[in-house]
Amino acid sequence: MSTTCEETEAGILSDASFYYLQRVVQQKCGLYLEPRKKDLVLMRIKKRLSITHADELRAWCDLVTRPGNDIGLQDLIDEVTTQHTKFFRENAQLDHFQQWILPAIQQRGRASAEKKIRVWSAGCSSGEEPYTLAMILLESLGEEWDIRILASDICHKALDKAASGLYLEEQTAHIPPNLLDKYFEPVAIGVARGFRARTLLRERIDFRKINFMDARYPINTAFEIIFCRNVIIYFDQASREQLLARFASHLQPDNGYLFLGHSELVAEIPSLQKHKFNIFQKTAS
């Protein structure tokens, strides 16, 4: 493939090259790279390796997607996935979760004498969401409850960051001070001030790499709650519908809720009933 007048100022990513990369990423992990993000994708790839023209870009794509080259493919995925999150994001949803959904779960737990809850933070990025959920669950249900959170992502770098539980001081700005004192300990991160999630939080979260496009997920439980917020916007319509159906299949019947991001407009999901704040409840099959 030769360079053309369609290439960017950097002279290496023609439209044809970008579409090739787009197909590779969508096939491997379901993410749809929008054409308007071509220059952003180029910038991220250039951080990892020195590419001087389009032929080299395609050769690199061929290399990292070659069967058996799992490390190269992970490098590609790490560079093109978007990692943007914060603690206590979308508070209206979290307030509804804490004030309405958790009390009902707590009541059922008392009735059945089974104080257990399973939650999946799907697309957990650098971990702010699962740690937020762990704090809410502990505050609402108490330490006597068996609380387990599966926190998954496809990005290896994000999972490493999440599992460390380390955050700079400015990253913890949205955590209420009383919860920050209770659930995080101050630490030095290089020369900067930071905080680390205490064992009380970290022991309740299982960080795991999951590719939503895999034929089977390494999951052997049904969840009361699945959070997958601001993730499906990066999938095309067909992949989105398939993923939402799979989430529904992993929810407890009549007792499971799926939380999507406030901007993720979904008309309906089979077997799920839509409530306010873009929350969906599993209905009887």
Say which CATH number the domain at 42 has.
1.10.155
- Record the pTM: 0.83
**Residue-number span of the structural domain to which 47 is assigned:** 15-80
Note whether 21 and 113 are same-domain residues.
no
Provide the pLDDT confidence category of residue 171 given band limits of 50, 70 and 90. Answer: very high
Per-residue pLDDT of 61-113, as tens digits, reads 777 667 666 666 667 777 766 667 899 999 999 999 999 999 999 998 877 77
Q: Which residue from 89, 92, 91, 63 is spatially nearest to 76, judged by alpha carbons?
A: 63
pLDDT at 277: 93
Q: What's the confidence (pLDDT) of residue 278?
A: 93
- pLDDT of res. 71: 63
Is 153 an annotated catalytic residue? yes
pLDDT of residue 26: 80
Under 8 Å between Cβ of 261 and 230: yes
CA distances for 103 relative to 97, 137, 152, 228, angstroms:
9, 11, 26, 21
176 and 62 part of one domain: no
Q: Are residues 122 and 233 both part of a single domain?
A: yes
Per-residue CA distances from 21 to 31, 65, 70, 191 (Å): 11, 10, 17, 38
Q: Is the pLDDT of residue 53 over 90?
A: no
Burial of 197 (0-12, 13-18, 19+ CB in 10 A): buried
* Residues 114, 42 within the same domain: no
CATH number of the domain encompassing residue 98: 3.40.50.150
pLDDT digits (tens, 9 = 90+) for 237-258: 888 899 999 999 999 987 899 9
Give the separation between CA 258 and CA 282, rounded to whole angstroms: 8
Element (H, E) at 245: helix 237-249
Average pLDDT over residues 251-267: 88
Write down the pLDDT at residue 1: 33
For the cut 80, the answer to whether the pLDDT of residue 15 exceeds it is no
pLDDT band at 11 (very low <50, low <70, confident <90, very high): very low
Give yes or no for residue 51 having a pLDDT over 60: no
Mean pLDDT computed over 17-27: 77
Kindly indicate the confidence band of residue 31, based on its pLDDT and cuts at 50, 70 and 90. Answer: confident
Selected catalytic residue, list 153, 202, 204, 240: 153
Q: What is the pLDDT of residue 205?
A: 98
Same domain flag for 72 and 95: no
- Does a structural domain hold residue 1? no
Q: Looking at residue 155, what is its pLDDT?
A: 86
Per-residue pLDDT tens for 188-246?
A: 999 999 999 999 999 999 999 998 988 899 999 999 999 999 888 888 888 889 999 99
Q: Are 206 and 149 part of one and the same domain?
A: yes
